Amino acid sequence: MKSILVANRGEIAVRVIRTARDMGLRTIAIYSELDRDALHVDLADEAWNVGPAPAAQSYLNQERILKIAHDSGAEAIHPGYGFLSENSQFARKVEESNIIWVGPPADAIRAMGDKITSRRNAESHGVPTVPGITDPVTTVDEVARLAEEFGYPVAIKAAHGGGGKGLRVVSEEGQLTDAFEGARREADAYFGNPEVYVEKYLDKPRHVEAQILFDTHGNAEFLGERDCSVQRRHQKLIEETPSPGLTEKQRRALGKAAIAAGKSCGYVNAGTVEFLVDTHGDFYFLEMNTRLQVEHTVTELVTGLDLVEWQLRIAAGEELDLGTVKPHGHAMEFRINAEDPFNNYLPTPGQVVEWTEPAGPGVRVDSWIRPGTTVTQYYDNLLAKLVVWGSDREAAISRAKRALSEFKVRGVSTTIPAHLTVLDHEDFIDGRHHTKWMEESVELNESDPSVSPAMPEEEEVTRRDLTVEVGGRRFAVSYWAPAPPVGGQPRRKRPKLESTGPSGSPDGVVTAPMQGTIVKVHVGAGESIKTGEPICVLEAMKMENEVKSPASGEIVDLRVEPGDTVASGEVIAIVK
């Protein structure tokens, strides 16, 4: 194998291209019209236009991708995650075109994609599953009988589902009909198949998944687990390994079960078996993901293995030969998404104006962003994965805080403030969180000064940063000012202007409310002033405007004198 086409974009395309190049392969990128200047395109040896922006016409366009593979002479295709990675028809087409598919056999993808079949296969290979049934349910009466048998609550799930869609929880008999019909409707709408099945519903479980590798010679390896319990609305935010609280005995049992689940469908290549772990520490098979997962990086940091390298070696027919794998230390991954955690995690597409990644000991950033990169609503909003390693969980948490505070992103909102909040939460620090915890227990406080300066309402404002020296010491000050947005910085509406200083106490950054000329200055630097007292007079459009102090305190910085012209939003003085 000397060449590979990477049928993906974003951070995972970058990730795969890097390892393929490390291994001396010729790398072939594909790009949609929006991604012509993307990082993965620059890093690959060659790049081919796969079509217009919508994924259906580009990264999901099977025939077009196969044609590019043929035209470019690619010997293999790596699908990354998402897009075509778990499409068994595409995997089969690749196999039938005599191109190496860097992934599991099409039949294994199909078997695991059907949740009833995968449950049945796992069960028949001795893998513990949640109490439930291995056949679709077709009537409400059947669901009622099963609920009596297992006890309420029960879960009604889409047979071809995943990601929480088509999942309904029934806690009492009265909800049965609604839940059953709702689950069928949703299953039909999302997955084109109304088939549903029933399981006992586990309340507040942890989500723990096992990384496995299988080669084509019958060898299998379990590479440890990942805890993905910090998630909201089925979107994972933080993943870590090892899982807090899992004993060595439980870990071994989980690994054995994961390998048995893989064997049950003839698995080859890298895969992940998902389990729910209940409050007693018992674990149950949930489903198997037949792809490389976003969070594979934490496994890499503790094992020292490159999982993409092993995917490629296995695909080329090599025998799995890892020696003894001895995981070392603790790793955590933080998904840096373009979304606003202060506004219900609403996606925030736009141009990234500033992008400074953390670095240093134990820090890895897998990203596709550069200053100027535009994040579009056409694809997912993962900007980067921050992955940290520490000798133990406490060290990893400490390092994560350090790295997250080094991360500087402007132009789009990110999940960084949410991560910092989680890292300071006792439940997380003690490892007491579960899959419902984020939604139940983590609320972000908009006025937290370590996170973001307070924003004035009503007026159109934009965030500005500046540095000041007070008594020979340097301080960074952020404030909101009425001004045109600085390169894509979002405008917001809020009441009264207010800002926060380095100490977190409310300081007054006094800015020009409009463009004009300073005609008089009432105060001097170092003097004290009270709220509402005038600082200077600003003339604009033949009108004189008094600029007043927003706070009582000392004028630590005075930046204007009579005759100066100031732009709207320019700093006039700082009151501490």
Least distance (Å) between residue 494 CB and ligand MV4: 34
What is d(CA 545, CA 515) in angstroms, rounded to the nearest whole number?
11
199 part of the interface to ligand MV4, by CB under 6 A: yes
167 part of the interface to ligand MV4, by CB under 6 A: yes
Least distance (Å) between residue 248 CB and ligand MV4: 24
Give, as one character, the DSSP assignment of residue 376.
Answer: P
Bridge-based pairing state of the strands 354-356 and 363-367: unpaired
Which residue, among 209, 210, 214, 211, has the nearest Cα to 269 in the 3D structure? 214
User: 548 vs 535, 574, 575, CA distance in Å?
Assistant: 5, 12, 11
Least distance (Å) between residue 199 CB and ligand MV4: 4
521 part of the interface to ligand MV4, by CB under 6 A: no
304 part of the interface to ligand MV4, by CB under 6 A: no
Q: For ligand MV4, give the closer residue by CB, 99 or 109.
A: 109
205 part of the interface to ligand MV4, by CB under 6 A: yes
504 part of the interface to ligand MV4, by CB under 6 A: no
For ligand MV4, which stretch binds (CB under 6 A), given 73-81, 143-151, 196-204, 496-504? 196-204
Among 36, 234, 328, 491, binds ligand MV4 (CB under 6 A): 234
For ligand MV4, which stretch binds (CB under 6 A), given 34-42, 100-108, 156-164, 316-324? 156-164
**Whole-number CA gyration radius for the chain:** 28
Among 60, 99, 158, 202, binds ligand MV4 (CB under 6 A): 202
Least distance (Å) between residue 289 CB and ligand MV4: 10
Are 72 and 47 a contacting pair, CB within 8 Å? no
Give, as one character, the DSSP assignment of residue 219.
Answer: -
Q: For ligand MV4, give the closer residue by CB, 38 or 212.
A: 212
Which residue, among 393, 399, 392, has the nearest Cα to 359 in the 3D structure? 399
162 part of the interface to ligand MV4, by CB under 6 A: yes
What is d(CA 520, CA 501) in angstroms, rounded to the nearest whole number?
27
155 part of the interface to ligand MV4, by CB under 6 A: yes
Q: For ligand MV4, give the closer residue by CB, 77 or 418.
A: 418
What is d(CA 19, CA 306) in angstroms, rounded to the nearest whole number?
8
What is d(CA 532, CA 530) in angstroms, rounded to the nearest whole number?
6
Residues 6+ apart with CB under 8 A from 104: 91, 267, 268, 269, 271, 290
Least distance (Å) between residue 162 CB and ligand MV4: 5
Q: For ligand MV4, give the closer residue by CB, 394 or 439.
A: 439
Preceding peptide of 153 cis, ω within 30°? yes
272 part of the interface to ligand MV4, by CB under 6 A: no
Q: Is the dihedral of CA 15, 18, 20, 22 positive or negative?
A: negative
**Positions in 114-133 near ligand MV4 (CB under 6 A):** 130
Number of residues forming the site for ligand MV4 (CB under 6 A) = 18
Least distance (Å) between residue 228 CB and ligand MV4: 7
Least distance (Å) between residue 186 CB and ligand MV4: 13
What is d(CA 352, CA 313) in angstroms, rounded to the nearest whole number?
36
Gap between the terminal Cα atoms of the chain: 65
Among 31, 90, 197, 201, binds ligand MV4 (CB under 6 A): 201
Given the rule CB under 6 A, which residues bind ligand MV4?
130, 155, 162-164, 167, 199-202, 205, 207, 231, 234, 276, 286-287, 435
